[in-house]
Amino acid sequence: MTTTTQKLSFEDYLAYNGGTDTRYELVDGELVPMSLGTGKHGAIIHFLTRQFEDIITQIEQPWVALPALVGVRSPRGRRWDTARIPDVTVLSLAQWEAMENREAVIDFNEPPPLLVVEVVSPSTQTDDYRSKRSEYGLLEIPEYWLVDPLEAKITICLLDHEFYDLTEFQGEDVMQSPLFPDLKLTVAQVLAGER
């Protein structure tokens, strides 16, 4: 569902204020409201953000994990602009700090995030698996996680020449992340949103 009838440029999107707390992604120049999702959706985002932050501290990397706080401008390949807001974004601390006095959106001329996560819901399933996967690949985001409580699986997508190689994990499978090789989480733990 979109909320505008006229198309917006990326600059218009950054300046847009609808007078509410509603957050939007920009898809082909149209504002698409982001729903809050279910409590389970939020618990998964919270859990993964904490897990990433814990491992970042342990391995002493200058990175940060943020829950739905950073946008990523997308090269969707059509006439109008697109900007996504991943459910979790891992990026360098310096890049996050550089956004202190501007909109928190990673533009084309900036390094891509290190990892993004999308938690699949019925309303985002097609975009998460198809559109965002191709967009994130073109942006050269090295690692993209699709956490799918609907299908009870997690797909880790690893970049190889602007395309992702996919590995699916289910149940008690321990996921393998190149960015976080010491992170030992099962799919069941992530989907439960528990420590």
Rounded Cα–Cα distance for residues 6 and 155 (Å): 36
Rounded Cα–Cα distance for residues 66 and 141 (Å): 16
pTM here is: 0.86
- Span 40-53, mean pLDDT? 94
φ, ψ (nearest 5 deg) of residue 182:
-90, 0
According to the model, what pLDDT value does residue 76 have?
67
φ, ψ (nearest 5 deg) of residue 138:
-65, -30
Q: What is the pLDDT of residues 6-15, one digit of tens each?
A: 787 777 777 7
Q: What is the pLDDT of residues 63-78, one digit of tens each?
A: 999 999 999 988 765 6
According to the model, what pLDDT value does residue 4 have?
45
According to the model, what pLDDT value does residue 67 have?
95
According to the model, what pLDDT value does residue 78 have?
61
Is 158 or 129 the better-scoring residue by pLDDT? 158
Tokens of 190: 């992530």
Residue 126, CB-side half-sphere exposure with 13 Å CA sphere? 1
Q: How confident is the model at residue 195 (pLDDT cuts 50, 70, 90)?
A: low
According to the model, what pLDDT value does residue 1 have?
44
Place of tokens 């439960």: 192
- Span 140-165, mean pLDDT? 94
Rounded Cα–Cα distance for residues 127 and 61 (Å): 31
Residue 18 has pLDDT above 80, yes or no: no
Rounded Cα–Cα distance for residues 55 and 80 (Å): 38
Q: With helix as H, strand as E and coil as C, how does the chain read? A: CCCCCCCCCHHHHHHCCCCCCCCEEEECCEEEECCCCCHHHHHHHHHHHHHHHHHHHHHCCCEEEEECCCEEEECCCCCCCEEECCCEEEEEHHHHHCCCCCCCEECCCCCCCCEEEEECCCCCHHHHHHHHHHHHHHCCCCEEEEEECCCCEEEEEEEECCEEEEEEEECCCECCCCCCCCCCCEHHHHHHCCC
- Span 102-106, mean pLDDT? 91
